[in-house]
């Protein structure tokens, strides 16, 4: 009787998808090659947007904000004038404004009473992007406190 040897082999293979191969190619590009590739893609596909445009717009907005160099006192007066003009407005129902939302996130026990009283004014001084563009010294002068308390 002929005894044949049975051999069982276990083999594992990994096949890369087209997307994986393209990703690996992109990772291998130098900065110049990548920039050239992206430029070509932007020219071939009008639906793609370049992040350079968005980044330059954001930088211009920040530069304009600092070029204005509005003092906190001027900003506060403008804000107070806006409020007096809006006293006849109808309030929106059940909406939480940003100031309330920020205040709810703070623990009152972490602040002195003087600091806690300044916080709503600090929040009102934030610009559209959430930055506080004023000098702490200016703010301290307007509210008759010291710079360390504001910081």
pLDDT at 122: 82
Question: Taking every pair of C-alpha atoms in the chain, what is the biggest distance, in angstroms?
Answer: 108
**Cβ–Cβ under 8 Å, residues 137 and 73:** no
pTM over 0.75: no
pLDDT at 70: 62
* Per-position pLDDT tens, the chain of length 151: 556 777 788 888 888 888 888 888 888 999 899 888 888 888 888 787 766 666 777 777 767 666 666 666 666 666 666 666 666 666 654 445 777 777 888 888 888 888 888 888 888 877 777 777 888 888 788 878 888 877 7
For the chain, give the number of residues: 151
How far is Cα 30 from Cα 33, in angstroms, rounded to an integer? Answer: 5
The residue extents of the domains of the chain are 18-48, 98-151
Specify the long-range contacts of residues 66-75, CB closer than 8 Å, at least 24 apart. 66/133, 70/133, 70/134, 71/134, 71/138, 72/125, 72/134, 72/135, 72/138, 72/139, 72/142, 73/138, 73/141, 73/142, 75/125, 75/134
């Amino acid at each position: 009787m002929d005894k044949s040897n049975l051999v069982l082999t276990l083999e594992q293979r990994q096949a890369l998808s087209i997307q994986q191969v393209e990703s690996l190619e992109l990772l291998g590009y130098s900065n110049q090659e990548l920039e050239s590739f992206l430029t070509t893609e932007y020219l071939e596909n009008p639906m793609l947007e370049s992040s350079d445009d968005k980044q330059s717009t954001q930088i211009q907005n920040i530069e304009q904000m600092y070029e204005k160099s509005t003092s906190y006192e001027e900003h506060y007066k403008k804000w107070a004038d806006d409020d007096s003009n809006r006293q006849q407005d109808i309030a929106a129902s059940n909406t939480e404004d940003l100031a309330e939302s920020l205040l709810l996130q703070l623990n009152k026990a972490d602040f002195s009473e003087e600091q806690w009283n300044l916080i709503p004014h600090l929040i009102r001084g934030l610009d559209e992007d959430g930055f506080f563009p004023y000098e702490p010294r200016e703010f301290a002068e307007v509210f008759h406190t010291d710079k360390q308390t504001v910081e």
